[in-house]
């Protein structure tokens, strides 16, 4: 994987906690993370934080990106306001650039038809079924799933660490024993994992 920028989609009602591990450990390991919004104005997260985006959707091209990250947000299920982000995800996948979606963003991708033929997970199978999508047979009961082509990562809202694990693996930040140790440390509070990460 190249050292291209990782793009993090941001929007009002953005679920703050879902990508904290992902973005922090990408940045700490030399990756650039830029925020992308529909417009240039600030957005307000679910936790009340204001984010001034680096870019707008019109500025983002798949060929300039290593990964697009989409988080949950109340707006995914309340309106069509975030549909442009799902369409951007389609452009990324069509270009062979990976997309990572967690929580409500998985429903947005389902509505866009992007989960119909790919292995995926979410909060629950019935949550995605309510979107009317056609991908139920590809749903996996797992903490996080990377599809067969390595292009789509999905997770439910309670699995931000597993979500980060899949992203860090996909981008080659951690692999093998170190990836396992990272997960044990942050998911299981296994202090013995420090030794592996520091070696």
Q: Which residues are catalytic?
A: 103
3-class state of residue 146 by DSSP: strand
What secondary structure does DSSP assign to 30-78, as a single string? T--EEEEESSSS-EE-TTS-EE--SEEGGG--GGGEEEEEE--BTHHHH
DSSP for residue 136: G
**Residue 149, number of CB atoms within 10 A of its CB:** 11
Pairing, β 5-9 against β 65-70? parallel
Task: Give the C-alpha separation, 12 to 121, whole Å.
Answer: 24
Q: Of 91, 99, 100, 76, which Cα lies nearest the Cα of 15?
A: 76
């Amino acid at each position: 994987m190249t050292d291209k920028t990782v793009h993090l989609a941001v929007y009002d009602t953005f679920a703050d906690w879902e990508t904290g591990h992902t973005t922090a450990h990408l940045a700490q390991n030399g990756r650039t993370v830029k925020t992308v919004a529909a417009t240039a104005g600030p957005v307000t997260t679910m936790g009340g934080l204001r984010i001034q985006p680096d870019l707008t959707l019109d500025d983002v091209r798949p060929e300039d990106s290593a990964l697009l990250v989409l988080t949950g947000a109340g707006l995914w299920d309340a309106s069509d306001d975030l549909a442009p982000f799902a369409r951007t995800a389609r452009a990324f996948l069509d270009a062979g650039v990976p997309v990572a979606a967690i929580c409500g963003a998985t429903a947005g991708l389902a509505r866009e038809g992007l989960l119909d033929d790919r292995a995926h997970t979410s909060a629950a199978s019935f949550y995605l079924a309510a979107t009317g999508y056609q991908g139920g047979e590809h749903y996996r009961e797992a903490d996080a799933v990377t599809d067969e082509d390595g292009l789509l990562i999905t997770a439910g809202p309670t699995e931000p660490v597993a979500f980060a694990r899949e992203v860090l693996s996909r981008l080659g930040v951690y692999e093998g024993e170190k990836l396992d140790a990272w997960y044990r440390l942050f998911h299981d509070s296994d202090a013995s994992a420090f030794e592996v990460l520091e070696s």
